[in-house]
Structure 1
Amino acid sequence: MDIGRWRLFAAALSGIFIFFSPFSVAERGPNYSFMHDATTAPDISHYDYIIVGGGTTGCPLAATLSQNYSVLLLERGSSPYGNPNITNLSAFGAALSNLSPTSPSQRFISEDGVINSRARVLGGGSCLNAGFYTRAAPNYVREAGWDGRLVNESYQWVERVVAFEPHVGQWQSAVRDGLLEVGVGPNNGFTYDHIVGTKVGGTIFDRAGHRHTAADLLQYANPTGLTVLLHATVHKVLFRTKVGRQRPSAHGVAFRDTAGVRHTAYLKNGPKSEIIISSGALGSPQLLMISGVGPAQHLQAHNITVVLDQPMVGQGMADNPMNSIFIPSPNSVEVSLIEVVGITSFGSYIEAAGGENFAGGNPRDYGMFSPKIGQLATVPPKKRTPEALARAVQLMDSLEDSAFRGGFILEKIMGPVSTGHLELRTRNPNDNPSVTFNYFKEPIDLQRCVQGISTIEKIIESKSFSSFRYDYLSVPTLLNMTLNAPINLLPKHANSTTSLEQFCKDTVTTIWHYHGGCQVGRVVDTDYKVLGVDALRVVDGSTFKSSPGTNPQATVMMLGRYMGVRILSERLATEESK
């Protein structure tokens, strides 16, 4: 591979379309001439590249490949534009609490009992998350085998459209200063970089409170080279075996629109045309299995014709466990999502979110830790039944507004080391697969949680945080009220029968950073090509062995751009040499 060639190519492309204003995109939505509903698609079509999944990776990947080739981007969900529950910070959580079949968020519950969500919208998880933007650590980049210079160029390409410096208010400042006071140093200031110590990270919410998502990166696309189809659910990747060879080759996909009409898109003839699956950590292994690539015995049990016996598909599933503590405040707390992070030396990340409205709206409905979005941490995972959720919602609705004055400090462990697996429930791609994450199965994960919770306790007790905590000796009425709420307060102390280890297990929730299922070296090679078949790649977070940084979205978007540049460069170099 000619390294210099694709670096120059990346540099040339990086300057394209920088005249676009991200603010106008957030406020009005772009007028994408290439975006259509799948009902308008022809029965049969042909493209150089077919990308399955218009999420955090699929959008930047499609935008990049469209510069030189015809690209079809298939997204099972709708457009994020015109939906205020996605665009506005003030409505954070509204999409996550919407359980309708057309919601941009599809709820799933792992076999561990933890309630979680997967995206069903153009832009993927960047349309639903808390907005934190931070790069992967340099050692993560090295271990992934990525070229550092192209990685930086790709991050910068993303950041010109979607990343901003947040305005840090008093609450977030108190958390930051408390982290430094208890020894999580040094103070690294504002930076996108992942560095041990305390920092202010980026956000995909601009100063007007408007969210910018991976879908905004489609403004980089060549509009004549890209077709985006919404509400297009891919049911199968199509394979054929070349004459004289046993190795299968992907050559098309079958998808259905909302009317149930089947459409087929094929690759154009050519040795370099490819299908690229970017359907996320649940969707990508699920689609491979439905298409016949996976553990043979499991596929046969679902009456799926085996194209390739690949037992590693669905293995290595992981979700970073999160544990949070609510701190009632005697003073008002500004509305904020994740802005400050303490990156500890022991492998726990400390973050915070606050505000009486938990980022606006009704906190009972839209709070980042509201039971309505599944974050019911006061009930152990296996007991988080619909009835338990209903009781928690009823209790939350009965509380006075003053009970919501305060904020959360949370810890998320790095990695994690504990992993699980994914299996099909049905052959329907719209159904959730069965997934097990095995939270805290490995002792080191539990140890990191305990250290993280202990650090949070010290932050709350720090001088820097004093204006945002009550004098607990006075035990005001508000605290008595809050003690019965469906939220976590400080864990009981050592003289309690409940240990910090048990507290971690009982209060574990998700921060939506699950990954794995199509890991590099197990399902795909270092070029993200699926092992054992031709013309098929998987490029998204399902290929990760651990979650990058404190939030993966920056790296997932970067990966779409990075691999798009590499694929283009290699193909153009091949064509020029002929």
Structure 2
Amino acid sequence: MGLRWWRNFGAALAGVLLFFHGFCYSEKGPNYSFLQEAKQAPPNLYYDYIIIGGGTSGCALAATLSQNATVLVLERGGSPYGNPKIRNLDSFFANILDNSPLSPSQSFISEDGVFNNRARVLGGGSALNAGFYSRASAGYVKSSGWDERLVKESYEWVEKKVVFKPPMLQWQSAVRDGLLEAGVLPYNGFSYEHLYGTKVGGTIFDHQDHRHTAADLLEYANPKNIVVLLHATVEKIEFRLPDGESKPIASGVIFRDEVGVRHNAYRRDSKSEIILSAGAIGSPQLLMLSGIGPEAHLKAHGIPVILEQPMVGQGMADNPMNALPIPSPRPIENSLAQVVGITTFGSYIEAISGSDIIRSWFHRPPEQSSNDSTAPKGTEKTLKAMHTMMKATVRGGIILEKIKGPISTGHLKLRTTNPEDNPYVTFNYFKEPEDLQRCVEGMRIIIKVINSKAFSKFRFPHIPVQLLIDMVVNSPVNLRPRHVGASINLEQFCIDTVRTIWHYHGGCHVGRVVEPDYKVIGVDGLRIIDGSTFNHSPGTNPQATVMMLGRYMGEKILGER
């Protein structure tokens, strides 16, 4: 055997050993040795990377960075493990409707009058959402300036751990066939890719209907190099300005544990970084609380200005969702989004089904109750009868549409200087006419699906679509005013009955607040890696790309060390 053969053999052997080494120290959730309560932490800590937020992006980022550096994750919520409301598909709405102080979901109402939620748990939004998994379009990846090869590898890294093929039972199959009958073509089968037409996407629920969150990606972590502190609420990022330096340098963070004791975490050396991964609400909020944001706004709250940055909190967007609930004459499965119709005009059609879905649709907290009605004259008794019927039969589902983008954007402002308080958030739903037109076209597709032959066995023939529209207009889906024409004009219907699909993003856009490498403009030692950097929502659902981005940037950062 020649020298070349031995060299090749040695290189291959080294690769195999490295591969196994990467997994020999892995641990399985929920039995992570590195998961601790913040109150157990010492007063001062020093790490290579301090990640603020153990969410959808933060977990992937932390697991990756821990391969070759020490990592501290500061998560304001608790663990998703051991919580059946998070684990079980049937309990999807339980956490969203839970307003208790310990809930993994922190509710808020946008200034638009739309009910919303933000995650407060390890794993972030992946512990609360409907689980649909679909990659960003090729065009989105290209426009973001990402390395396409590393993007593909990063998606696959996520998918090996937390993504599954859904079972596709009767309801979802009928929606799929109805979409095809409605002209959302071609049929692309099962795929993670963003493809025009109708397809079956991935899900983070396994075949036992158990959820797998981004926290499971920590199984990739090196347990010797990582600590995850739970119930660690970051109050602010600290900065220093050494003599002769023109930029402030992020030096550490101040956080408090669940009993209110303050702790400090510091960068270990000049190569170390602080990384904000607190999400589209938390990241711009924490930047402002730390003194980076619009100068007048910060001064109004008594916050010392570190850097005047007027674009922090700007460009907030939420993909608006409108839907029709459909009572069913036959029992149907509990299912969350599995099928999607990706239209050429910019609307995405999905569906969910089951008893808990219908109960939640008609749920209204007492403080949000109202006797207001804009029902057409003579239909009030019919609508009340339908509400009673659906509550009694608890059979049915919802077909929804959401628009891409969106083009319409708003802003975020501080309400208080308490990081646990929700800021003011305005999304300006349908401010731009193109967004509204996409909603109207999406609703027309939904109506075609409901009227399709494929879907006929899941609807009562004596209940016309118009009555379903009337029912939504008179349901407590938000706090927005109702207009008389909302039942007969789809544009007004979209405006009056808009809901969130929890895909909000923005507030720290690339090119405005962060550089293409996600370093915060104007300061050193600080990056933002999460959905707050997105100018538009990537594809039908952002969670795949948010997880991918954590892995992707973790690899990029390690390559710079």
So what's the TM-score if we normalise by structure 2?
0.89
Aligned twin of 1:491? none
Contact 2:165 2:201 in 1 (8 A): yes
* Partner SS state of residue 252, structure 2: strand
Give 1:337's aligned amino acid: L
> 2-side partners of 1:15 and 1:181: how far apart?
52
Whether the 8 Å CA contact 2:96–2:117 is kept in 1: the answer is yes
Q: Aligned AA for 1:343?
A: I
Secondary structure at the counterpart of residue 255 of structure 1: strand
- Aligned-partner Cα distance in 1 for 2:185–2:272: 49
Match for residue 60 of structure 1? 60
Q: 1:371 aligns with which of 363, 370, 374?
A: 363
Find the counterpart in structure 1 of residue 448 from structure 2. 458
Separation of aligned partners in 2, 1:321 and 1:474: 25
List aligned pairs for 1:136-535, cutoff 5 A: 136-270=136-270, 272-358=271-357, 363-364=358-359, 367=360, 369-372=361-364, 386-388=368-370, 401-472=391-462, 486=475, 498-535=488-525
- Distance in 1 separating the partners of 2:233 and 2:134: 31
For the 8 Å contact 1:14–1:157, the answer to whether it is kept is: no
Structure 2 counterpart of 1:555, from 527, 545, 549: 545
Instruction: State whether residues 233 and 257 of structure 1, in contact with CA within 8 Å, keep that contact through their aligned partners in structure 2.
Output: yes
Q: Matched residue of 1:93: which SS?
A: helix
Q: Alpha carbons of 1:314 and 1:474: their partners in 2 closer, same or farther (altered >3 Å)?
A: closer
Aligned to 1:34: 34
Q: Write the letter of the residue equivalent to 1:315.
A: Q
**8 A contact 1:396–1:486 mirrored in 2:** no
For the 8 Å contact 2:158–2:548, the answer to whether it is kept is: yes
Q: How does 1:10-49 map to 2 (within 5 A)?
A: 16-17=22-23, 29-49=29-49
Give secondary structure in 1 for the equivalent of 2:355: coil
Residues 228, 396 of structure 1: alpha-carbon distance in 2 compared, 3 angstrom cutoff: farther
Paired residue total = 530
Distance 1:89 1:40 in 2: 33
Q: Deviations over 1:146-201 (max 9, x none)?
A: 11110010001001111000000111111111111111010000011110000000
d(CA) in 2 for partners of 1:262 and 1:472?
63
Q: CA RMSD in A?
A: 2.9
Q: Which moved more, 1:343-352 or 1:175-184?
A: 175-184
Q: In structure 2, do the counterparts of structure 1 residues 283 and 473 end up closer, same or farther at CA, with 3 Å as the change threshold?
A: closer
Question: Are 2:554 and 1:564 aligned?
Answer: yes
Contact preservation (8 Å) 2:473, 2:487: no
What code does the residue aligned with 1:520 have? V
Give the secondary structure class of the aligned counterpart of 1:161: helix
TM superposition shift of 1:386: 1.9
Moved more, 29-38 or 53-62: 29-38
Task: Tell me the amino acid that sits aligned with residue 237 of structure 2.
Answer: V
Question: Which letter does structure 1 place at the counterpart of 2:241?
Answer: T
The CA deviation string for residues 217-240 of structure 1, in whole angstroms up to 9 with x for no partner, is 001000010010000000010000
Task: Letter of the 1:462 partner, please give it.
Answer: S
Tell me if structure 2 keeps the 8 A contact 1:196–1:344.
yes
CA shift, 1:335, in A, is 1.3
Structure 2 CA distance, aligned partners of 1:20 and 1:209?
A: 25
C-alpha separation in 1, matches of 2:21 and 2:387 = 51
- The alpha-carbon deviation at position 479 of structure 1 amounts to 8.7
CA distance in 2, matches of 1:13, 1:307: 44
Unmatched tracts of structure 1, length 5 or more: 1-7, 375-383, 489-493, 572-578
Aligned partners of 2:25 and 2:222 also within 8 Å: no
8 Å CA contact retained: 2:55, 2:123: yes
Deviation of the 1:330 alpha carbon: 1.7
CA distance in 1: counterparts of 2:407 and 2:161, whole angstroms: 33
Name the aligned partner's letter for residue 414 of structure 2: L
Percent identity, aligned pairs only? 63
SS in 2 for 1:51: strand
Aligned pairs for 1:104-115 within 5 A: 104-115=104-115
The structural deviation recorded for 1:203 is 0.4
> 1:51·1:73 contact (CA, 8 Å) conserved in 2?
yes
Query: In structure 2, what is the Cα distance between the partners aligned to 1:465 and 1:32?
Result: 46
Deviations 1:471-503 (A, max 9, x none): 12799xx99997898379xxxxx9997311000
